[in-house]
Amino acid sequence: MLKDIKKKIVVIGGGFAGIQFIRNLDTNIFDCLLIDKINHHQFQPLFYQVATSQIEPASISFPLRNIFKYKKNLQIRLANVYDIDIEKKEINTDIGHFAFDYLVIAIGCTTNFFGNHNISKYALTLKSTYDAITIRNHILQTFEKIISSEPNEIESLLNFVIVGAGPTGVELAGAFAEIKKNILPKDYPGIDFSKLKITLIEGSKNTLNNMSNNAKNVSKNYLQKMCVNIITEVFVIDFDGTNLKLSNGNIIKTKTVVWAAGVIGNSISGIAADAISKGNRIVVDEFNKIINTENIFAIGDIALMQIPKHPMGHPQLANVAIQQAKNLASNFKKNSQQKIIAKFDYKDFGSMATIGRNKAVVDFTFIKFNGFFAWLIWMFLHLMLILSVKNKLIIFINWAWAYITKDTSLRLILKADNTK
């Protein structure tokens, strides 16, 4: 008797959704191929701490081959995916073609510049570990420049602007405010840090606009007490690398703009136009199958599942991605056993954001609170999401040391040596 041929599942993307899908997939039943552009998983919620020299990039970066070193029947390839041929059941990449029986798209999102090419050219982003290192380098190099700059250049160097007051923007603004107060004056005693201005710009009425009223009000109060200048109900219309133009007619002179104002789905060719919706997200049914396909699925931030409970789709959060991935992996096994598969049912555990030392806001479904206890909860839950025990320990030690000493020793400028 011939041995049953296993069905082959190709997964594109090694973010939260892709990683959790493979971890929960029964590879005794299926062969699996993971394709990603980079060789490691990135823990995005802590990018801002890398950008502000609080933890090292390696602490939140996890090599894919190490994550799955004990996973049977899994292959990993580093490649850029060009397009999908639905009829031939294969994907085209820069290293060749790969056939599939089932395809799982977990390619996530990228920064949305809303069509403004100048902003995309000159602003800094925070969507990858590399972006975080770039911001860290830029910030430290800025202070090196201030020391030797002419007085008329210093104003733009001392203005830090963050656009977008969602969790990323708020957490980054709070972290900048803390290193301004506790760390940078020790490194650069010749700079007057009272002139360093941190500005947070938000197009809506509130900071953390998608959270509770308590979170909105408390986060704003925290930031204002930390001397962060908050501008709301104003949009950025242009940036040329020195002048940031606002919709109210004001111009801010700055050399540092971090863009955290929105995301848009990463593009992949071969998906029918009627399956692409607002924000470049891929429309899926309640089983995460892409509409009008039979064997192609999308999970995580890229997936748009419009149901009565979530008519605009689920929030683009790690918990959604993780839950969708686990449900889809379970459904593959159930389907192979001819059992009834389950619709995705998102269990909303709430949301949270930290603004700085002893300052955080937590919105659970049953209670909303803020302050020191919220900050402890935020740290604990983020540590639990870290993939390896070793990295959990390293990050905890870094946090504990920073809490006790109000300092870190991670302020390295890492860049290519152009002198050769």
CATH of the domain at 129: 3.50.50.100
List alpha helices for 280-371, DSSP H. Answer: 318-336
In a domain, 51, yes or no: yes
The pLDDT of residue 380 is 93
100 and 171 inside one domain:
no
Residues 168 and 206 in one domain: yes
Break the chain down into helix, strand, coil percent, rounded to 5: 35, 25, 40
Question: Has residue 148 been placed in a domain?
Answer: yes
What's the CA gap between 370 and 380, in Å, rounded?
15
User: In the 3-class helix/strand/coil scheme, how is 41-70 assigned residue by residue?
Assistant: EECHHHHHHHHCCCCCHHHHEEEHHHHCCC
For residue 330, what are the domain limits?
7-111+264-336
Amino acid letter for position 369: F
pLDDT band for position 366 (cuts 50, 70, 90) = confident
- What local confidence, expressed as pLDDT, does residue 416 receive? 61
Residue 70: count of CB within 10 angstroms of its CB: 6
> Could you identify the residue written with the tokens 């390839």?
77
Pairing relationship of beta strands 30-36 and 40-42 according to DSSP bridges = unpaired
Report d(CA 271, CA 18) in Å as an integer: 19
Q: CB-based burial of residue 358 (10 Å sphere; 0-12 exposed, 13-18 middle, 19+ buried)? A: middle
Query: Which of 2-16, 161-175, 249-263, 286-300 bottoms out in mean pLDDT, i.e. has the lowest?
Result: 2-16
**Is the pLDDT score of 411 beyond 80?**
no
* Pairwise CA distance, residues 25 & 73, whole Å: 11
Residues 221 and 274 in one domain: no
Residues 154, 355, 180: CA angle, nearest 5 degrees: 25
Average pLDDT over residues 172-201: 91
Q: Are residues 68 and 14 in the same domain?
A: yes
Residue 2 in domain: no
Confidence of residue 419 (pLDDT cuts 50, 70, 90): very low
Phi-psi region of 61 (alpha: psi -120 to 50; beta: other; left: phi over 0): beta
Say whether pLDDT at 4 is over 70.
no
State mean pLDDT over 3-13. 86
Mean pLDDT of the chain: 92
H/E segment holding residue 352: strand 351-356
User: Which pTM was predicted?
Assistant: 0.91
Within a domain: residue 41? yes
Q: Does the residue 385 lie in any domain?
A: no
Which one, of 77, 75, 72, lies nearest residue 35 by Cα?
Answer: 77
- pLDDT band of residue 5 (cuts 50, 70, 90) is confident
Q: What is the pLDDT of residue 388?
A: 82
Give 207-251 pLDDT, tens digit per residue. Answer: 999 999 999 999 999 999 999 999 999 999 999 999 999 999 999
What is the mean predicted confidence (pLDDT) over 267-277? 93
Q: Within 10 Å of residue 127's Cβ, how many Cβ atoms? A: 18
CATH number, residue 47: 3.50.50.60
Domain boundary among 211, 228, 261: 261
Query: Model confidence over 94-110: pLDDT tens digits?
Result: 999 999 999 999 999 99
In this structure, are 242 and 288 located in the same domain? no
Tell me how many domains the chain contains: 2
CA-CA-CA-CA torsion sign (117, 123, 128, 133): positive
If asked whether residues 30 and 63 sit together in one domain, one would say yes
What does the pLDDT look like over 78-99, one tens digit per residue? 999 999 999 999 999 999 999 9
Torsion-angle region of 73 (φ positive above 0: left; ψ -120 to 50: alpha; else: beta)? left
**268 and 257 within one domain:** no
CA 30 → CA 3, 24, 367, distances in Å?
13, 12, 42
Does the residue 191 lie in any domain? yes
Same domain, 176 and 239: yes
